[in-house]
Every structure is written in C-alpha cells, then in structure tokens.
Structure 1
Amino acid sequence: MGTLENRLQGKVVVITGGTSGIGLAAAARVLEEGGTVVVTGRDSGRGADALAELDSGRAHFAQHDVTSRESWRVLLDQVAERHGRVDGLVNNAGRSATAAPFEQESQEAWEGILATNLSGVFHGMQAVIPVMREAGGGSIVNVSSAGGLVGLPLTATYAATKWGLRGLTRVAALELAHRGIRVNSVHPGMVYTPMTVESAGVVEGEGNYPPAPVGRVAGAGEIAGAITYLLSDDASYTTGAEIAVDGGWTAGISPRALLGDELAAALLG
C-alpha cells in the first residue's frame, strides 16, 4: 500500500464536473497523492480558474459534455493521446434536485437531470471500459448521494438518478472484476459547495446541520478523501461498494433532531 504522498503516483485520473466543489477538491487530492488529473466541464472559463487554483503541471482541463457520447469519445481520445492511459474515472458531474413535489415534477426536469446524472455516467462508463480493459485495469468511482440510499421527499428525479447509479455501479462491478476494473460509489450527505450554497443556502460551521449526527455539513475535501481512497491501490479489494460520507445521516435520526438539543444533551452527555 502507498503512502498518502505517492499512492496515486503515475496514475491518470479523469474527473467530470471537476471545476468546482467536490470535483475540484478531488482533483487537488489526486495531485497531492502523486497523480495526474484531467478535470472536465462545459465552461472553459471555469476550467481556466480551476487550473489556476490547482497550480500544477500535472493538472489539465478538457471541455466536455457528459450527456454526449461523441464528447466522451473525443475526451478519451485526447487523454489517451496526451497521457497514454486512463487509470481512474470519477463520474462527479451532476445536477441538483428541483425541490418539487412528485406530482409537480416537470418532464423538462426529469429529462435534463436524468441526462446528466444517470445517462452521462452510463456513457462515460461505456466509453472508458475498453481503455481500462486494454491497460489491464482501473478504477471507476461514481459520485451518487446519501439521497440514493434513503427516500428523500421533493427529489423524485434526483433520487431516481442517484439510486440508479447504485445499480449501474453494482452490475459493472460484477461484470468487470475479472478485468481488474473496480467500480464503486460514494454517497455524500450535505456538502458545502458553490452548488449547495446557491440551491439550498447551505452554511458551514458546527451546529448548522442538526439532521446529521455530527451536527454539521461536510467540506468538499472530506468527500475527496473517500474518492481518492477508491482510486488508489489501497482499495484493491474493494469493488461494488457503496461508501456513505454523510456524517451519520443515513445511520438513523440524529438524537438532537429527534429529542431536541437540551434533552439529547441531558441523556447523552
């Protein structure tokens, strides 16, 4: 097993939606651990900003639309030409929930979120598998959600895509294990990112998220740690797994949320 400084040494990792939030944090961790990273996104301006923040000759940006099979083909051709291989793929690009009751969810929202969150991952996995198979193996990490482990009201389309990722992940893990390709999913709880600030008004700090037993939202770097573990050879015996990084949210109801702060403190200390 490698040390934190070198366990991704020599590995080439592609991260979709890598210009901000969890994707950007994961890219930084890949670099810290010795790897080369290709971050993708639709906006070249945000790509330039991400590269400036990463500040490494081993970080590259590719303009890319995850919903397009042709864009996936072009991306992987570019990465193969430049780096000769793809060792890891992090399917991180996604759209957030629309916060609408089930019966009011629009067809536009259904089709748009499905195209990015589920079909985009499907296209990416199909595109990268032959590349990894030829190289003798690799690691695919699908970023799902804690909302793909439990029912979450007002997220019908989003939940369908995140639960769907579990199925794609497990089937691919079963089919590809003998090829040396590992496929796992990470399920973040509430995370402080530009997207969650804009869509849900998420606030950092202790005590700002009572639904999670730890009482706070995650930082993007805390999710990145799980992602880079799965990319590394430290996870060589891990495939088909679902790793919740959610502050205990899916374990059950937080004592503070169930009992209130004062009673929880009196009973639990």
Structure 2
Amino acid sequence: MTDVNTELRLDGRTAWVTGAGKGLGRAIAVALSQAGATVAVTARTAADLESLAAELAGHGGKVLALPGSVADSAVVRETAERITDTTGRLDALVNCAGISPHFTRSEQVTDQDWQQVLDVNLQGTFYCCREAGKAMLAQRSGSIVNVSSVHASTGFERIAAYAASKGGVEALTRTLAVEWADRGVRVNSLAPGYFHTDLSSGLLDSRWGERIVGGTPLGRVGDAGELGGAAVFLASDASRFVTGTTLTVDGGWTAW
C-alpha cells in the first residue's frame, strides 16, 4: 500500500522557486522547505530573499538565495547552473515569478506595458523551464510546476496582457508535458484564484474586491499559505501519474 505521507516528502531533493521574495512564491518556498527540500529561491530583490533565507534557516531548512530576473535568459542559465553545481541535482521547479502592474482598458495598453508583462510571465517561465529541464532530462526525473492563474481560462476586464501571458503558460505546460514525459519529467500548472498578496492588494482593496469575494463560493479570498500544499503535491511523488494538467485553487471562483 502506498504511504501518501512518505510520497509527499521531499527529503534529499532540490526545489527551485522563482518569484520567492513575496506572496505566493514565498509561501510555496516555505511549504517545500517544510516538506524537506533544499530550496533555491529567486527574486529580483535581494533583501526579500535574505529575509526568506533567514526564516527558512531558522527552522532548520537548507536554502540557496540567488537574486536575479527571470526575464534575463543569461541570468536564468547561470542560476540553474549554480543550483546544480551547489546541490548536485534539481528535482522540482516552481515558476511563480509574475507581474500584473497595469489595470487598464485594452485599447489603452501600450506596447511597452504589453511586452513588460509577457517578458516576465511567459518568456521568464519558458527560460526557467528550459534551463531546469536540461538538468531534469539529464537525470531523467523531475517535476515542473508553472503558476498560471484562473484568468488563463476566464475573462476579466483590464488585464489583457496578464491573461494572455497566463494562457500562454498553460499552453506551454501542456506542450512540455507531452514532449518530456518519456524522459521522466512531469510538467503541470497551478492556477490560483484571488489570494491576499502585494500583487492583488490594490485590486482587492478597491471596488472590485467586493465583486471578487461575492463571486467566490467560499466567501473569501485565499491566504497565501493555502497554496503551499498544492505545490508540494505537484512537486512530489504523490502526483507521479499527473502531467500536462492544471490544478485550480480558487475557492470555487471559476465554478459559477
């Protein structure tokens, strides 16, 4: 009989989390560390990573803090190499780096605004998948979790670039899952609904917040820590027969 508790453990494994400085990425990094993984964390702000590293180390976790932008392919390549050189392996990648700095009607979105979002959310995800994938394919094992959004599959005003980037993330996920399955690498996506984070605070604190909460059957938005278990599941052997799928965590927001 399979021991689910054992399968959910990540002892002896290395997990890389991008966008780990704040919000959902930070919560996921904490959850992976609690599951026993050595956690390599990436974000643009070094101070955020230093704070996270101190928190994880204070609880006995092993952590490698590597500041940098996922939108820079050279930085991503160097980061992946440092992780494998330091730990000897790479077993899981959680692509959580993402931005949504504009809440603008589509006809008013500038070329620069559009490109900025796609550079981080879609190109950055691909760069990290590509470099982590090389290491995982070489060892013939690994799990990639691309953090998407409920807006990859549902419409909402004023987020054209963000929604398009997340739709692309899910398409990329399905393609890589098919391409890499026969070499032991699984690729899935995790689609959060609305959670309390710095990224969502402006929207949730505005008149839109009441609409969002009102459309969520559980009657509230999520706490960042509530996403960690889903990420651990997809990164672990408990999901070893799951690839190319999207796990939605949204309090029922898309069920209406």
**TM bracket, shorter-chain basis:** over 0.9
Matches within 5 A, 1:201-216: 201=205, 209-216=213-220
Secondary structure (helix, strand or coil) at the match of 1:3 reads helix
Residue identity matched to 1:180: G
Report the equivalent of 1:218: 222
CA distance in 2, matches of 1:223, 1:57: 19
- Closer, same or farther in 2 for the Cα pair 1:29/1:90, shift >3 Å? same
Secondary structure (helix, strand or coil) at the match of 1:85 reads coil
RMSD of equivalent CA atoms: 2.0
Residue identity matched to 2:43: G
CA distance in 1, matches of 2:205, 2:147: 21
Report the equivalent of 2:30: 28
Secondary structure (helix, strand or coil) at the match of 1:39 reads strand
Q: Is the 8 A contact 1:5 1:33 kept in 2?
A: no
CA distance in 1, matches of 2:202, 2:50: 22
Residue identity matched to 2:153: L
Q: Is the 8 A contact 1:97 1:155 kept in 2?
A: no
Question: How many residue pairs were aligned?
Answer: 250
Secondary structure (helix, strand or coil) at the match of 1:157 reads helix
Query: Normalised by the size of structure 1, how large is the TM-score?
Result: 0.88
Report the equivalent of 1:43: 45
Q: For 2:64, which of 51, 60, 66 is the aligned residue?
A: 60
Does 2:253 correspond to 1:243?
no
Query: Normalised by the size of structure 2, how large is the TM-score?
Result: 0.92
Give the C-alpha shift of residue 149 in structure 1. 1.6
| Structure 1: runs of 5 or more not aligned | 253-269
Secondary structure (helix, strand or coil) at the match of 1:18 reads coil
Report the equivalent of 1:135: 139
| Identical aligned residues as a percent | 37
CA distance in 1, matches of 2:199, 2:156: 18
Q: C-alpha offsets along residues 84-129 of structure 1, whole Å, 9 cap, x if unaligned?
A: 0000000000001511111111111101000000000011111111
Q: Which runs of 4+ in 1 moved over 3 A?
A: none
Does 2:81 correspond to 1:98?
no
CA distance in 2, matches of 1:142, 1:62: 19
Secondary structure (helix, strand or coil) at the match of 2:186 reads strand
Q: Which has the larger radius of gyration?
A: 1
Residue identity matched to 1:13: A
- Larger RCO (CA within 8 A; separation ≥ 6): 2
Give the C-alpha shift of residue 194 in structure 1. 2.3
Give the C-alpha shift of residue 34 in structure 1. 1.1
Q: Is the 8 A contact 1:38 1:62 kept in 2?
A: yes
